[in-house]
Structures are given as structure tokens and as C-alpha cells.
Amino acid sequence: MIIIMKPNVSRQEIKAMIERIKKMKLEPHLLRGTERNVIAVVGDERNLQRQPLEIMPGVESVVAVLKPYKLASRESKRERTVVKAGSLSIGGEKLAIIAGPCTVENRSMLLHTAKAIKRLGAGGMRGGAFKPRTSPYAFQGLKNQGLKILAEARRQSGLPIITEVLDPRDVSVVARSADILQIGTRNMQNYELLKAVGQQRKPILLKRGMAAGIDELLMSAEYIMAQGNYQVILCERGIRTFNDYSRNTLDLTVIPALKERTHLPVIVDPSHGTGKRDYVIPMSRAAVAAGADGLLLEVHPHPERAMIDGQQSLSFEEFGELMDDLKKLAPIVGRNM
């Protein structure tokens, strides 16, 4: 930790700070500069991070040297994590393509979709049973009945199932039906839910919050891992900016930035990331070209009749075209399909 003192700091203020650091069993080094004095602290500064040093007299600012996450960091684990769910691997050489409707609307549409995406090469199936909706009056999902339909789709297609969980009280029932539990963007910092899924032993797909910095995303992963569940997949799904031409601003640079910092796999959701069907195909290609480990895509038999998010869902035909593009693109980035 580096403590930058104000230009007019007094001797006594410096002395008080040095004593405080020593009390924490850390080692202070005073560096007298031409315009500012700086105190560098050697030792595990994480203790010090809990103290409001900024408020001590004479302090101008405080800079952390160490990252706040440990289990999620590449320093704790150099080799890449490959998360496995049934036949699907995420983070390995093969791109993980997870597709399906925003929500489970009924049995026949879901089974029909499962069959189609399987045939077109998807490795997993997504579908919401519990839906977080902005409006309390909107359709909130088929809930338990939806979970049953998802389980049937898995049996028929062999595709592992990914579905969202919203409430700590639902975690165990969702975990019985699903292969991967999804934490949605609105719940990225719902810490009680993170703890609850951390106690499961199924992989967790953690979506980035729409205003979450990269460290905050990794701290939310750390919450899950601190409970003993190390199978975490990170998902970029667009952030909120001043842009109004798209639903969110897809931040693809986060892919190489996360790969620098963490061993966890990173996938991209271009459906929510753009909110517009016409942008999904180019941005899916871009995500893979930027190094993503996979994609989470909304695909619907009839997007124009979808109950939710039809404007951002691909038809089967479009999904098939995208898969063809990705087959050609994957080898360029050292991947396969």
C-alpha cells in the first residue's frame, strides 16, 4: 500500500501514520519527495484496507498494491480453469456454444428448440424458468414447471442445461434440474445468493453487472469460490453507458483483460449485449475473435412471436449461419468447434 501525504503535512501527522502502520505489524518506509512525502507499506496490506486511512490527518490519497481477490486470481493458479458440465467443457480448446430461448414458454417449443440447436452444433442449452423482469406485471416464467421441461429437454437432447436462479430459497431445487446455475446481471452483487450457490457443487455462470468494474466482477466470483465452489464461468453481457442505439454496450476488451487477471473461463452474451438481432451475428464473431471461451445466445423458433426478448433472438436459420462462420473462425484463434 502506498500512502501519499499532502504537501503541507506536519511531522506529527507523518509520525502518527507510521505508528499506526507498525501497530498493524506492517513495515512503513518514508520517502521524502520534492513536493510530496510518500509512505510505502510492506507486508500483507489487506488488513490495512479495512481501515479508513484516507481520513487520517495529512493524507492525500491511498493506492493499493495488491488486488483484493485471491482465489480468482492468476497468481493463485497459473493454468486456465476448464469448467465441465456433462458433455460440455468451458475454457478448453473447444468453443462452448450455449443457445436457447430467453424463457421456457411451453414444452413443445422447448423440445423443438433443443433438437434444432443440437443438430446445428450447440454444446449446451439455455432457457429461463425463473425470470427477473423489470415490471412486476410481466410474465415471470413457468418456474418449477419450466424446470421440469428443461430436464426433459436434457434427457431428449443430451445437452446440459443452464438456467437462472433468483432466490437463495430456490437454489437447491434449481440445482437438482440444472447443470449450470446462472446468476443474472441484476444479482451480481446479491451476496446472499452468491453464498448460496457457492455451497452447491455445480458450475455457476456469473454475469457481469451492468455497472460492474472488472475487480467487482472478480470479487463476486471470489464470493462463490470462498464457499468452496471453484467452477465459476464469467460472462460479459454489456454494460450501461450513454449509448442509446443498443440495449447495452458490449465491452469485448474485457475478455483479454480478464484473461490477464484470472484463470476462470470467460464467455459472452451478445444477445443481451446488443439487444438487437441484426447485431448479434457480427458481435458473436467479434467475441470469438477477441478470445472468448464461448457464447450464450438467444435462439427461438419464431423470434417474432417470442414472449420475451424476441427482438434479440436468432432464428434457427440465423443460428446455423453463425455456426458456419464460427467453424471457420475458431482455428484462427487456436480453437475448434
Residue type, 204: I
Nearer to a copy of itself, 63 or 108 (CB): 63
List, in order, residues 6 or more apart from 144 with CB less than 8 Å away. Answer: 129, 173
Q: How far is the CB of 226 from a copy of itself (least distance, A)?
A: 4
Q: How far is the CB of 264 from a copy of itself (least distance, A)?
A: 16
Q: Which stretch binds a copy of itself (CB under 8 A): 92-100, 141-149, 150-158, 271-279?
A: 271-279
List, in order, residues 6 or more apart from 317 with CB less than 8 Å away. Answer: none
Q: Which of 11, 23, 25, 32 binds a copy of itself (CB under 8 A)?
A: 32
- Binders of a copy of itself in range 123-162 (CB under 8 A): 132-139
- Binders of a copy of itself in range 89-108 (CB under 8 A): none
Q: How far is the CB of 270 from a copy of itself (least distance, A)?
A: 9
Binding mask 39-78 for a copy of itself (x = CB under 8 A): -x-xxx-x---xxx-xxx------x-xx-x------x---
Contact 285, 263 (CB under 8 A): no
Q: How far is the CB of 261 from a copy of itself (least distance, A)?
A: 9
Nearer to a copy of itself, 152 or 167 (CB): 167
Contact 225, 232 (CB under 8 A): yes
Residues touching a copy of itself: how many (CB under 8 A)?
103
Q: Which of 31, 106, 172, 176 binds a copy of itself (CB under 8 A)?
A: 31
- Binding of a copy of itself at residue 13 (CB under 8 A)? no
List, in order, residues 6 or more apart from 56 with CB less than 8 Å away. Answer: 13, 16, 17, 20
Coil, helix or strand at residue 259: helix
190: phi then psi, degrees, rounded to nearest 5: -85, 85
Q: How far is the CB of 329 from a copy of itself (least distance, A)?
A: 6
Contact 98, 122 (CB under 8 A): yes
CA–CA gap between residue 220 and residue 95 (Å, rounded): 24
- Binders of a copy of itself in range 188-247 (CB under 8 A): 189-193, 195, 209-211, 213-214, 216, 219, 222-223, 226, 239-246
- Binding of a copy of itself at residue 168 (CB under 8 A)? yes
Which cell numbers hold the place of 148? 421440469
CA–CA gap between residue 92 and residue 219 (Å, rounded): 23
- Binding of a copy of itself at residue 23 (CB under 8 A)? no
CA–CA gap between residue 70 and residue 26 (Å, rounded): 20
CA–CA gap between residue 190 and residue 194 (Å, rounded): 6
Q: How far is the CB of 156 from a copy of itself (least distance, A)?
A: 27
- Binding of a copy of itself at residue 172 (CB under 8 A)? no
- Binding of a copy of itself at residue 336 (CB under 8 A)? no
Nearer to a copy of itself, 22 or 63 (CB): 63
CA–CA gap between residue 57 and residue 122 (Å, rounded): 59
Residue type, 189: Q
- Binders of a copy of itself in range 288-317 (CB under 8 A): 288-291, 303-304, 306-311
Angle between helices 107-120 and 144-157 (to 10 degrees): 40
